[in-house]
Structure 1
Amino acid sequence: MTGVNAPSTLSSRIADTLVLDPAAPFLEFEGEWRTWGQLAMTADAVAAHVPVPGTRVGVLLRNRPAHVGLLVGLLRAGACVVTINPSRGVDRVRADLASLGLPVLAGTPDDIVAFAGEAGDGAVAAGEISETGSLAGDNDGIVTRLVLTATDLGEPVSVTGRLPDDLGVLRPGVAVEMLTSGTTGPPKRIPLGYEMLLRGLVGAKHYESNQDDTPRLRSGVAIVNAPLVHMGGLFRVLQCLHDGRALCLLERFALDTWADAVRRHRPRTISLVPAALRMVLEADLDPAIFATVRSVISGTAPLSPDDAEAFEARYGVPVLVSYAATEFGGGVAGWNLADHQQYGAAKRGSVGRAHAGCELRVVGTETFEPLPPDTEGLLEVRAHQFGDGAGWVRTTDLARLDADGFLWIVGRADQAIIRGGFKVIPDDVRAALERDPRVRGAAVVGRPDARLGAVPVAAVELRTAVDADEARAVAEALRADAARVLAAYELPVEIRVVDALPRTPSGKADLGAVRELLATPDQNQNRDQNQELEH
């Protein structure tokens, strides 16, 4: 098998886990189970077509069993997986594929046909995969890109096209080029190394009482509802592979399907992004569903302490907030149960303490010198994922760190809005708007302004639908209430009530989409509020 002897210890760990018990259940999807043996069959078939470790392979990645098999096979072979998000739309995905120039592309047959572009660019043309597997494409009729397709775990992997003579730039040691969610700007790909991911997986034991790292199949079923194309979902699947744990894969988060999975599989830990956690909280589910659940892990976006406390009060399950970033290949800080029990009330709103092997510090926004405890500045991280001797990595998060090592994220430096010389932190404005019980979620961005440079504007999603007149009244009331806790320059010049906030697949508010939504002012709101500011 080509490529299976890649030096990565993550690849070796995957190989060890795949052969422990082929008949044991591995993945449930839409009520049907697949075994570890079926996963191994697909993974081995995929790995055999990786020419050398470090080959960049694009994967049109969805939350389906076939995609898990493609992903595992490529990592098993030491390939560099380039994640491609099908939910970004056909035109953008085709442009992405054309710019990447990947020698190998993988996905399901339907996605390959839909997204691989026109025949002339060296990709599969829609409808041109023949019954024999031949493929029309370049001038000579053969596509100079290898195309791997899978339909399910344990089913045959189809191979069409051919490898180009030039494989392009190899990325040995890089497991994944992960496309970020693009919540603050254009998405970009972050290289995540095999060793980096393995260190992150070991560090994730921060949340567990059992620190045994012996390769074996463990009891219990993990529920994976985050998108595999983003860090949360990918990391969760890698955890299951590393720990030898079965998983229930959900194509997307849907309240009823998710609740049914929790009810049937009785997990000890569940993961919910803040938007999903609020949906569960509002649904007022039977607390008996959570009888076996000891904790909820929540990350990817700010979570209101009010929501965390309300969830625990209603369902009896503590919410353990975590802090992670794609660049770190997983979490670097978070709560565990022991800290929650001892410090939960005293450290309200914190995202926890550094994981084992990680270090945190806060530096001045201009001097970049370390600051004393409880002083706001830029967060820097020295993550164990980067290995011994790693330097400090400066984030764009504004934070404070107390004397006990607890971390608070107070905003994003790169999202700050400078309004006539005054700095507005969007998260402060968002939190003020979300205090109102009518508000399900809010997003605040800056809008260019000829007089002031930029002004804050907000989109607000309510818990119940309202008509246009009611929406205007709610917006006025929200602004008046926010004025009680915000300075005049922090108040949004426009608050627009929307049916639903645009969100990324990982559940974060899509700030780029919000900017587009609010790019054209509501002249009535904007004029009235500018007049108030001038007074």
Structure 2
Amino acid sequence: MTRHPLSRRIADVLALAPDSPAIEFDDAWWSWGQVDAAARRIAHLAEQHGGTQTAVLLRNSPTHVATVLGLLLADATVVVVNPARGDDRTRADLAALAPALAIGTPDDVATLLAPSERTTVATITTLAEAPAVSTIGRGTPDPKPGVAVRMLTSGTTGPPKRIDLTYDMLARSTLGDMPSAPRRGVAIVNAPLVHIGGVYRVLQCVTAARPFALLPRFDLDRWSEVVRRHRPKAVSLVPAALRMVLHSGLTREDLASIRVVTSGTAPLSADDADAFTEKFGIPVLTSYAATEFGGGVAGWTLADHERHWRAKRGSVGRATLGAGLRVVTERGDPVPPGEAGLLEVKPGQLGPGTEWLRTTDLARLDADGFLWILGRADQAIIRGGFKVMPDDVRSALEAHAAVAGAAVVGRPDERLGETPVAMVELRAPITADELADHLRARLAHYEVPASIAVVDAIPRTPSGKPDLTAVRAHFADDLGGGRGG
């Protein structure tokens, strides 16, 4: 079988120095050889199923990293399933996928995977143990040639869907020269593997033979301890995490090794970026990316930041990785430099011949190529880098028998950018806290409203739709017995 260059690079790096440390997790190191052995067991399992699309209930652990790498070694397709989206939604997602092969931890498999004659189920525990095949299904292999990862995302160009990240896209973003030995510095990976940022960060480390400390999630105390111990020169923080660091008791001495912070996934204000630099003496390089683009399409370099930040503050930088950027009217006519419109992108990761992709972002592009994101043309709420669709939250609320109607909007939040808040009118008595419990079983944690206001009647327009301007005003004035979050 002819392997893709990305698959060959992964195999070459895993075999480069088997005894060298590769992944630190929970204060223990796992070697490249241990990761290699675990990945090859997964690759063999995938090959037994015809290189099928494989649903992986992904969490941040060395075993899950090895599972992803193993599927890529087999030129198979990783179908990302997020076990933290809410049990009901995850079960429905898996039922709709009906995969021939599914992989997860014993707890996730027991809770989320219903028995199926189609699906073969493998459970993973530690790198040292082989996956245990607990259910043998008779599903037909369903390969998707050329697709490395099918990422579940809300996206900026439409409703929630799976985005196909091809081997070519990932290779263009991650492959440099083959290292002759493992790198000495230790990177930090705190982005979730269920998001494109986590997948890219892991692949960037692996293809460069760079050891990394893997965190289950961003935790300020744990992150700062790892920074002090490993002294990285560069770290990546989503805006919500960056604001947590900014408003913490950490000092310049705690972050003394760091020369630059990169930040993306959600808007970061220029004031927060400047405040971070003033407090810690570290420049913040913002970027603009989306799963639909195959990663980043604009960002700041350190040289640009040193030369242009004062004049261009608030920009997300210039086109990267060969991307094309333009701002157009709703009809698609390009607007002059400096004028606002809808952003369209030709991502470099997609290769030559790519069509312009229309986003839902309002933007402006100046004569020097610097891009500003001015807001969203749709009603999506970006909470700490996670996209929340108001209709999803409204539908989940209205699924409760006691709820007669609901309206969901975004409320500005200093740390997270925005949080969803909800107004409900009832047909039977129920408390806001009981409604929140109802939502936690159906939605991801970041989709649960920070405040739920129970009112006699939702304000509505003459057509009968909720008056969202009035709903926003209600929460801006902090009226009406909501539930804080």
TM-score interval, smaller chain: 0.7 to 0.9
Tell me the percent identity. 51
Q: Find the counterpart in structure 2 of residue 136 from structure 1.
A: none
CA distance in 2 between counterparts of 1:264 and 1:214 reads 25
Q: Find the counterpart in structure 1 of residue 161 from structure 2.
A: 188
For the aligned residues, what is the CA RMSD? 3.6
Q: Which of 42, 45, 65 is 1:46 aligned to?
A: 42
Q: Is the 8 A contact 1:53 1:172 kept in 2?
A: no
Q: Which of 262, 270, 275 is 1:305 aligned to?
A: 270
Q: Structure 2 matches for 1:21-40, cutoff 5 A? A: 21-40=17-36
1:22, CA displacement in angstroms? 0.4
1:96, CA displacement in angstroms? 1.2
Letter in 2 for 1:314: K
1:529, CA displacement in angstroms? 6.3
User: Is it true that 1:16 corresponds to 2:12 in the alignment?
Assistant: yes
CA distance in 2 between counterparts of 1:294 and 1:59 reads 35
CA distance in 2 between counterparts of 1:528 and 1:10 reads 48
Q: Find the counterpart in structure 1 of residue 138 from structure 2.
A: 164
Q: Structure 2 matches for 1:100-139, cutoff 5 A? A: 100-117=97-114, 119=115, 122=116
Q: Find the counterpart in structure 1 of residue 352 from structure 2.
A: 388
Deviates more, 1:306-315 or 1:180-189: 180-189
Letter in 1 for 2:411: A
Q: Which of 380, 401, 404 is 2:365 aligned to?
A: 401
Give 3-state SS (helix, strand or coil) of 2:84's partner.
Answer: helix
1:244, CA displacement in angstroms? 0.8
With over 3 angstroms needed to count, the CA separation of the structure-2 counterparts of 1:517 and 1:328, relative to structure 1, is farther
1:356, CA displacement in angstroms? 3.4
1:292, CA displacement in angstroms? 1.5
1:455, CA displacement in angstroms? 10
CA distance in 2 between counterparts of 1:56 and 1:351 reads 35
Mark the runs of 5 or more structure 2 residues left unpaired by the alignment: 395-405, 416-420, 424-431, 460-468, 475-485
Letter in 1 for 2:338: D
Q: Find the counterpart in structure 2 of residue 316 from structure 1.
A: 281
The one-character-per-residue Cα deviations of 1:125-150 (angstroms, maximum 9, x if unpaired) are xxxxxxxxxxxxxxxxxx54222222
User: Is it true that 1:271 corresponds to 2:271 in the alignment?
Assistant: no
1:109, CA displacement in angstroms? 1.7
The one-character-per-residue Cα deviations of 1:337-379 (angstroms, maximum 9, x if unpaired) are 00000001110100000113111111112x2022221111111
Q: Which of 133, 150, 160 is 2:124 aligned to?
A: 150
With over 3 angstroms needed to count, the CA separation of the structure-2 counterparts of 1:379 and 1:66, relative to structure 1, is same
Mark the runs of 5 or more structure 1 residues left unpaired by the alignment: 123-142, 203-210, 417-425, 431-442, 449-453, 464-491, 531-535
Q: How many residues end up aligned between the 2 structures?
A: 429
1:248, CA displacement in angstroms? 0.5
User: Is it true that 1:361 corresponds to 2:326 in the alignment?
Assistant: yes
User: Is it true that 1:73 corresponds to 2:47 in the alignment?
Assistant: no
With over 3 angstroms needed to count, the CA separation of the structure-2 counterparts of 1:282 and 1:335, relative to structure 1, is same
Give 3-state SS (helix, strand or coil) of 1:159's partner.
Answer: strand
User: Is it true that 1:288 corresponds to 2:285 in the alignment?
Assistant: no
Give 3-state SS (helix, strand or coil) of 1:38's partner.
Answer: helix
Q: Structure 2 matches for 1:135-534, cutoff 5 A? A: 143-164=117-138, 166-167=140-141, 169-181=142-154, 187-202=160-175, 212-214=177-179, 216-365=181-330, 367-415=331-379, 457-459=409-411, 461=413, 510=446, 513-514=448-449, 517=452
CA distance in 2 between counterparts of 1:63 and 1:39 reads 14
1:177, CA displacement in angstroms? 0.7
1:391, CA displacement in angstroms? 2.1
Letter in 2 for 1:107: G
CA distance in 1 between counterparts of 2:408 and 2:194 reads 31
Q: Is the 8 A contact 1:493 1:529 kept in 2?
A: no
1:165, CA displacement in angstroms? 5.1
User: Is it true that 1:89 corresponds to 2:93 in the alignment?
Assistant: no
Q: Is the 8 A contact 1:227 1:252 kept in 2?
A: yes
1:300, CA displacement in angstroms? 0.6
CA distance in 1 between counterparts of 2:263 and 2:470 reads 36
With over 3 angstroms needed to count, the CA separation of the structure-2 counterparts of 1:363 and 1:526, relative to structure 1, is closer
Greater radius of gyration (CA): 1
With over 3 angstroms needed to count, the CA separation of the structure-2 counterparts of 1:108 and 1:402, relative to structure 1, is same
CA distance in 1 between counterparts of 2:422 and 2:29 reads 53
With over 3 angstroms needed to count, the CA separation of the structure-2 counterparts of 1:280 and 1:74, relative to structure 1, is same
Letter in 2 for 1:248: A
Question: What TM-score does the superposition give when structure 1 sets the normalisation length?
Answer: 0.73
1:161, CA displacement in angstroms? 2.7
CA distance in 2 between counterparts of 1:528 and 1:16 reads 55
Q: Is the 8 A contact 2:157 2:358 kept in 1?
A: no
1:154, CA displacement in angstroms? 2.8
1:390, CA displacement in angstroms? 1.9
Give 3-state SS (helix, strand or coil) of 1:288's partner.
Answer: coil
Q: Find the counterpart in structure 2 of residue 127 from structure 1.
A: none
Q: Is the 8 A contact 2:42 2:70 kept in 1?
A: yes
User: Is it true that 1:57 corresponds to 2:51 in the alignment?
Assistant: no
The one-character-per-residue Cα deviations of 1:67-95 (angstroms, maximum 9, x if unpaired) are 11111111111111111111112222111
CA distance in 2 between counterparts of 1:362 and 1:160 reads 52
